[in-house]
Structure 1
Amino acid sequence: MHEPHSHGSVLKRRTGWLGALERRKDRGDGTGQGHQVDRPGRKDQVGRPPGRVHRLATPIGILAAVAGAFAYVGSVDPNESGHYPVCPLLKLTGVLCPGCGGLRSAHAFIHGDLGAALEANAIATVGYFLFAAVWGLWLVRAWRGQPLRIGLAPVWWWGVGAVLLIFTVVRNLPFGSALAP
């Protein structure tokens, strides 16, 4: 006798989050009909690929959020005390973290003073350009209907961590005072 919720020979049973998603999408009548896995970048309910407006919504939404944050930092000067909280690591230990000076860097960057932005936080300033490049790539790929896939090997992530660590140590030493905000 066939149990109504058994997927035995009709569907291969998957475990983990994908299996849970498949079981939730299945109608549950045991036939496997109505089985649909929700995977981004595929097709909508009717079987059409998502339109450009749908594909561009996320990158444009992210840009709007970042632009809003930059607009706020551009209008509220972080060089004046009382507008932003103090870095807790700096307050408790006197050590500059890799993000110290980031708001001043963003403020200078928005006002077109690239030199002051680099002086306040060079890593953050490089990050603005990196964000712009990745966002542009994301927008172009979304326009074309292709997913954004940036696969970095673990060695790259370790390299980024090493650069941030070296930046942090050097900016806190007397000879690295040029990197301090």
Structure 2
Amino acid sequence: MTSVQERVRPLLDTSSRGRRLLRPLAVAAAAAGVLAVVATVDPNESGHYPTCPWLYVTGTWCPGCGTLRALHALTHGDVPTALARNPFTVVASAGLAVWFVVWTHRMWTGAQRTRMAPAWLLYGLFWAVLAFWVARNIPGWTWLSPS
């Protein structure tokens, strides 16, 4: 007589490559959907997307201001405009693409699960976002503003 756990276990087994790739495929599909909307609906035209709440309340740029316009430019292959709108988004997009490739490779090969990012990298990213936030609000540094 087999227990319920023994009968259910094969359904939950993620050892096959096809099953291991379900999560990366789901993430890729979601990202493709979001990028398709951003590529189609121009954030440079008013009324399509809401205003940044931080900009609305404080009148200063947040680290994410200009991200939609930067992604719109990237989806159209216009890297200089994307860098002008939000350089941090361009760098972060490249980093996320590399991370996604590494993650998908690990899932494909069935490599041992490890931490994807060491603590020093996460702290460094946190401080980089804060430094970018401050730098883009320094008077006279209009080259970092998303407008």
TM above 0.5, one fold?
yes
Q: Give the ranges of 4+ consecutive aligned residues of structure 1 lying more than 3 Å apart after TM superposition.
A: 33-36, 46-49
TM normalised by structure 1 equals 0.71
1:139: Cα distance to partner? 1.2
TM normalised by structure 2 equals 0.87
Aligned partners of 1:171 and 1:180 also within 8 Å: yes
Aligned partners of 1:79 and 1:104 also within 8 Å: yes
Map 1:16-165 onto structure 2 (within 5 A). 44-45=9-10, 50-149=15-114, 150-153=116-119, 155-165=120-130
Question: Structure 1, residues 34-80: CA drift from partner, whole Å, max 9, x if none?
Answer: 697xxxxxxx4379662111100100110110111001000000000
Unaligned runs of 5+ in 1: 1-32, 37-43
Aligned partners of 2:14 and 2:20 also within 8 Å: no
Identical pairs, percent? 40
Question: Structure 1, residues 17-44: CA drift from partner, whole Å, max 9, x if none?
Answer: xxxxxxxxxxxxxxxx9697xxxxxxx4
Aligned partners of 1:70 and 1:110 also within 8 Å: yes
More helix per residue = 2
Number of aligned residues? 141
Amino acid in structure 1 at the alignment position of 2:52 = C
Give SS of 1:146's match: coil
